[in-house]
Amino acid sequence: MQHEENDLLSILKKFDRPGPRYTSYPTAPIFSPAYGASEYSSDIERSNNSSGGPISLYLHIPFCDTLCYFCGCTTIITKNRQKITEYIEAVKKEIDHTASILDPDRKVVQMAWGGGTPSYLLPDEIYDLSRYIREKFSFAPDAEISVELDPRELAFEHLEAFVSGGANRFSLGVQDFDEHVQKAVNRIQPEELTKRVIAWSRELGIKSINVDLIYGLPLQTPETFKRTLDKIADISPERIAVFNFAYVPWMKPHQKLIHTDQLPSADEKLQLLQLTIDTLCEAGYVYVGMDHFAKPTDELALEQKRKKLHRNFQGYSIKAGADLFGFGMSAISHFGNVYAQNTKDLPAYYEAVNAGKFATVLGYKMSQDDEIRKYVIMRLMCDLELDKQDVEQRFGIRFDIYFADALAKLEEFLPLKLISMEDGRIVIEDNGRFVIRNIAMCFDAYLDKLRKDKPIFSRTV
C-alpha cells in the first residue's frame, strides 16, 4: 500500500502543471471580443429553429457579504442592499429580452442559481425573482433547479423561498471546518451552522445536497483536513465537491491577502488529495472524477455508469443537450456552436440591459474541429473512456490520422498505466483519473497559443 501511494504521489507530482478544468471546450480564454450583443441576439433566434429543444438557465448573483480570501469566483462584496435591488431589476430586463426571442414552447429542464451568493438575496427578493422567471419561461415539471448557498447568515425563510420557486438541489459552501483555516481565509463558519442548514434543507424535502470543500488552503494539514472530511462524511450529503485551491493571484489580487508561508507545499497538497480520495471512498462515496464525489445511489454515479454524464460550467450534470442561457454579469451562454459571455463590469452591464440590449462582450463560434475535440474531451472526462469508432462515425474522420498528434502525446501516460488503449478504446485507468485534465489537454488545440500569452490556468493537481 505504502509503495502504491508513493507511486501515485510521484505521478501527481510529474503532472502538476497549469491546465484548464474543461467546463467548456474551447476554454473561456479563447472567447473573443469580436463576438458581441447583436451576434448573440441573432444566434438566440436561430437556436429556435436549429435546436428548438429544451433549455437550461443560469442566473448569476454576484453579491457576498464578506470576502473569502481564497475566492476565485466573480463576486462583488457589499453591504449596500440598494445595489442588490438595482441588480435584480436589471437581470429582469435581460430575462425579458431573452424570453421575447426564445420560442415560448421551449421547456426549461434545468436552472442554476450561482454566484457569488444567491442566498445573500432577501427571501422576498428570492420569491420575486423566482416568480418572475417562471412567468417568462415554461418549466418542465421535473426541472432540476439548483442553488448555491452560503450557510452563514442564512435563515429558514431563504430556503423556503427557493423551494417555493421550485428549487430541488442545494449546494453549500463549507471549504473546511478547521477554525484556524477558517480564520486564515476570513471565513468563520461554525460547524453547527452548516449542520443546521442541512437539517432545514432535509425538512423542506431537499433530496440532493452537495457540499463544497477546498484542499490546498492555508494552514491545512492532513490531520486537520481528515477531521473535516470525516465530519462531512458523517453528515452524509449526496454529493461532495473537493476543489483543488485555484491560486491565481494574477487574476484575483485579493488572494495576496493569504500568507503564502501558510500554504501547504506541493507535496502536502498531493497528500491532501490522496487523503481526500481515500477517506471519502472508504466512507462509501464514488469518485466521479475532477473534484466530484457522489453516493453510489446518486444520479451522478448512476449516470456515469450508463455513460450518460455531461459536463457544463457548473461541473458534472445529468441533463443532456439543453441550450444554456445565462443572465447577470459575467454569465456565459452556450448553445449550438455558440459561446457568449456577458461583461464582468457592472456599470457596463447596467448600461447595456437598461438600453434594451444584451451585455455580451465576448463569444466564440465553434468550428467543426472544435466540435470534434469537445466531444472527445467531454467523453473522456465523463465516461473515463473513449470509443474511437464512435467518434469516427459521428464526425466522419479517421481517428488515428486526425488525432496522430494527440495520440503521440498520450504515449507518456501508457507506461505509467494511467491509460490503456485496446480494442479501439482509450480507457482512463484508476490512477489516470487524478490526471484527467492532463490527459484531456492532449486533445486541446489551443494550449500552446494560450501558454505563450500569459499565465491563465491554475495547476492541475
Ligand X SMILES: C[S@@+](CC[C@H](N)C(=O)[O-])C[C@H]1O[C@@H](n2cnc3c(N)ncnc32)[C@H](O)[C@@H]1O
Q: Which residues bind ligand X (CB under 6 A)?
A: 64, 70-73, 115-117, 148, 150, 173, 175, 212, 214, 243, 245-246
Pick the binder of ligand SF4 from 116, 151, 289, 363 (CB under 6 A).
116
Question: Which of ligand SF4, ligand X, none lies near 67, with the C-beta cut-off 5 to 8 A by kind?
Answer: ligand SF4
Compose the 368-407 pattern: x for residues touching ligand SF4 by CB under 6 A, - for all others.
----------------------------------------
Identify residues 418-457 at the interface with ligand SF4 (CB under 6 A).
none
Nearer to ligand X, 117 or 343 (CB): 117
Question: Could you tell me if 228 and 213 are in contact, meaning their C-beta atoms sit under 8 angstroms apart?
Answer: yes
With CB cut-offs between 5 and 8 Å by kind, which of ligand X, ligand SF4, none does residue 144 bind? none
Q: Residue 56 — φ and ψ, nearest 5°?
A: -130, 140
In this complex, which beta carbon is closest to ligand SF4, that of residue 74 or of residue 138?
74
Q: Applying CB under 6 A, does 118 fall inside the site for ligand SF4?
A: no
CA distance 120 to 87: 13
Residue pair 166/143 in contact (Cβ under 8 Å)? The answer is yes
| Contacted entry of ligand X, ligand SF4, none for residue 246, CB cut-off 5 to 8 Å set by kind | ligand X
**Least Cβ distance, residue 73 to ligand X (angstroms):** 5
Segment lying near ligand SF4 (by CB under 6 A), choices 112-120, 191-199, 291-299, 429-437: 112-120
Least distance from ligand SF4 to the Cβ atom of residue 355, Å: 29
Which residue reads 438566440 in cell numbers?
Answer: 44
Smallest gap from Cβ 23 to ligand X, in A, equals 12
Question: Which of the choices ligand X, ligand SF4, none does residue 214 contact, using the CB cut-off of 5 to 8 A by kind?
Answer: ligand X
Nearer to ligand SF4, 64 or 366 (CB): 64
Is residue 71 within the footprint of ligand SF4 (CB under 6 A)? Answer: yes
| 67 binds ligand SF4, rule: CB under 6 A | yes
Q: Which does 349 bind (CB under 5 to 8 A by kind): ligand SF4, ligand X, none?
A: none
To ligand X, the closest distance from the beta carbon of 217 in angstroms equals: 9
290 Cα distance to chain centroid: 10
Can you list the pairs that 96-100 forms with residues at least 24 positions away whose Cβ atoms lie under 8 Å?
A: 96/136, 97/353, 97/356, 97/357, 97/358, 98/44, 98/325, 98/327, 99/136, 99/137
Distance, in Å, from the CA atom of 441 to the CA atom of 358, rounded to the nearest integer, reads: 33
Q: Which is closer to ligand SF4, CB of 342 or CB of 360?
A: 342
Q: Which listed range, 69-77, 104-112, 308-316, 419-427, lies at the site for ligand SF4 (CB under 6 A)?
A: 69-77
Rg (CA), the chain: 22
Q: Which residues, 197 to 256, sit near ligand SF4 by CB under 6 A? A: none
**Contact flags string 150-189 toward ligand SF4, x per CB under 6 A:** x----------------------x----------------
Contact partner, 212, from ligand SF4, ligand X, none, Cβ < 5-8 Å per class: ligand X
In the complex with ligand X, which residue's Cβ is closer, 47 or 146?
146
Find the binder of ligand SF4 among 11, 61, 68, 242 (CB under 6 A): 68
Count other Cβ atoms within 10 Å, centred on residue 146: 21
Residues 6+ positions from 148 with CB-CB distance below 8 Å: 112, 113, 114, 115, 117, 118, 119, 171, 173
Residue whose C-alpha cell is 447596467: 350
**Binds 44, which of ligand X, ligand SF4, none (CB < 5 to 8 A, cut-off by type)?**
none
User: If binding is defined by CB under 6 A, does position 114 make contact with ligand SF4?
Assistant: no
146 binds ligand SF4 (CB under 6 A): no
- In the complex with ligand X, the residue whose CB is nearer, 251 or 320, is 251
Q: Which residues bind ligand SF4 (CB under 6 A)?
A: 64, 67-68, 71, 73, 75, 115-117, 150, 173
